[in-house]
Amino acid sequence: MIFLLWVTGVAMGWSQGEPSSLVPFTRIDLGVSQGGMSLILSIARFAAFFAVFIGALADRIGRRRPLIGSLALLLVATGLSALAPTAFLYGAAQALARVGAAATAALAVVAMAEGVSPAVRAYSIGFFGAAASFGSGISVMTLPLAESVSWRLPHGLPTVLILVLPFLWRRLPESPLVGERLVVLPRVELFQGVWARRLTLVCAIGLLSSAFTAVGLAFTTERLIGDLGYSAGTTILVTVGGGTLGGLGFFVGGRLADSWGRRPTSIFSLALALIGGLVLYAATDLWALWLAALASSFGAFAYIPSGGAHRSELFPTSLRGYANTAAGYLATVGSAVGLLVGSITIDRLGLFDTLALLGVGLVVAALLTALLPETLGTSLEEV
């Protein structure tokens, strides 16, 4: 199961990574400014609301079919994005992609959490996060194709992974917690009492933290290529090189979350992501940029297994898919809000000042995390 969800993560990360990695090329070809591209990517993210319905469906019919269907939607929409002749159609295709991506990410984490024991839950989720990061790294490695041929070629390449969908359909097991013995709670329960308080907190954390990371990730290549004048090869060295070592965050963060606890690991990870992200947009020396990429990616990656395990353990099984996709959607809204703010402030204030402004939200997200109950060692069958 871990291997199959790793394959899913690679496909998701590669598909999601291309729009951000190719910003310097897509925006010029489509005739939009930095702020204009930020606006397009922002609007597309709001469509991820429909992923919530996929999550609700997964609480009733199981995780496997909605998960694979969401991945199929993401891959097809990625191919359509590569063929889009105008900025409007590109944004529309990306809106469909965001629905698939949001549902895939949320349901994959839920499936992983429900399929392993509490002692290694966060560590196992780290493998899915590492796979998504690896896929994103592939998208950066295709930058020379965009330079020498066209951005449309690397943007459309992830579509070939449609070929793995039949394999996933045959092999991916259903969650052991979803079946006839499952006590199904009405969805209104999610908006009452303790579940409502937890949902509000995780949604706020996702919204505030993703606003910062979305802008930081979307304009990394623009910062290195467009602002500092580095080549695609040097950009790969900084982003993939720093990100590769930063990928240790998935496994270190998972181990820390399974031993130290979900809350302290998440707070530490968010703080590290903030510091590294700001330095990345302030430094100019190559070594400082590389270290900043390492620190920011380590923090962001360490948060994924910790936060993913935490969210899964906060809600009962019959509400878990709905709650996690809802939280995932609010994180996507946060990304959209961050990019929307960027569309207004980047052209006026610059990238660094925009990141500093959004970084305030990341600090608040860390403080809100401290208000959540610690769930280390929780058995999902007893939630």
Binning pLDDT at 50, 70 and 90, where does residue 180 land?
A: low
Say which range, 17-21, 51-55, 205-209, 258-262, has the weakest mean pLDDT.
Answer: 17-21
Binning pLDDT at 50, 70 and 90, where does residue 358 land?
A: very high
pLDDT tens column, 193-244 = 899 999 999 999 999 999 998 888 778 877 888 788 888 788 888 887 787 7
pLDDT of residue 183: 62
Choose among 199, 198, 215: nearest CA to 300. Answer: 215
pLDDT tens column, 129-143 = 999 988 988 988 888
Averaged pLDDT for residues 350-378: 94
Binning pLDDT at 50, 70 and 90, where does residue 259 land?
A: very high
Superfamily of domain 2-170+188-378: MFS general substrate transporter like domains (1.20.1250.20)
pLDDT of residue 41: 79
